[in-house]
Amino acid sequence: MSNDKSKQGGDRFPLTRWSVIGAARSSNPAERDRAMDTLCAAYWKPVYKYVRLRWNRPTEDAQDMTQGFFVQVIERRLLDKFDPAKSRLRTYLRLCVDSFVMNEEKAAKRQKRGGNVLHVALDFAGAEEELGGGAMDPAAIPSPESLEDFFEKEWVRGLFELAVEDLRKYCEANERERTFRLFEEYDLSGDETISYQKLAAEYGIPVTDVTNALAWARREFRRGALERLGDVCGSEEEFQREARSVFGWGAR
């Protein structure tokens, strides 16, 4: 087993404050590609699930539409039209999805003419499993208003999933695998019987080590989630609004 470092202070995620909006409007193709990969990673799953539920599309159609939508974002430079002073990015994108689906035949033709491709691997099988699989019953589909809330909740869920994966990779790279396992067991497993004392006994370490490790992991998870959030906000004002919405308090 690797030694699990317990140092604090400088052992942390950097906050880049890089924005997908600014990069998407860049004249540098590499920056635009990076922006689209970031956007796709944050939004593909909410988009897919939203198309499945809101538009009652079968799995294969929803998969094609999800990929086609992000290609259209690139080809039509939809982020150039986004104004963070008027709406949240997630609201703007959801409305763009609605427009895309309503015009799917024309959009499909545009996609075939274009040469853009997505570089982010899309785990549609995993997303379908989260939905419960099977055909959608139109009578059981919630109202459009509740589906708007569903889209936003799925976006937050996806943000946290990315932050957890960032934390896992960071811990692996810095010999803190045990810290991540403690965080996974206590904060992510959903097992209400887990306690600091049980974890200490399981790993053969003092309870204070469990306490310190979890405090560090939660702090770095929050930092990573805020960094991911900052990536997909168009301005500092939007970032602060989204931080309050997601976490219930300001980012600073």
Cα→Cα distances 153→35, 43, 72, 149, 178, Å: 22, 11, 24, 6, 30
CA distance 251 to 239: 8
The percent of residues in the chain predicted with pLDDT above 70, rounded, is 80
Residue 47 pLDDT greater than 60, yes or no: yes
Mean pLDDT of the chain: 83
Other C-beta atoms closer than 10 Å to the C-beta of 34 total 18
The ranges assigned to domains in the chain are: 18-141, 153-252
Residue 231 pLDDT greater than 50, yes or no: yes
| Whole-number pLDDT of residue 116 | 57
The percent of residues in the chain predicted with pLDDT above 90, rounded, is 44
CA distance 67 to 122: 9
CA distance 217 to 233: 24
Cα→Cα distances 26→69, 81, 120, 220, Å: 20, 14, 20, 30
Residue 159 pLDDT greater than 90, yes or no: yes
Evaluate whether 245 touches 37 at the Cβ level (below 8 Å): no
Residues 6+ apart with CB under 8 A from 150: 49, 50, 53, 142
Tens of pLDDT, residues 173-206: 999 999 999 999 999 999 999 999 999 999 999 9
At 140, the pLDDT band (50, 70, 90 cuts) reads low
CA distance 139 to 77: 36
Tens of pLDDT, residues 178-187: 999 999 999 9
Residues 6+ apart with CB under 8 A from 15: 223, 226, 227, 230
Query: Taking residues 110-125, what's their average pLDDT?
Result: 64
Evaluate whether 146 touches 212 at the Cβ level (below 8 Å): no
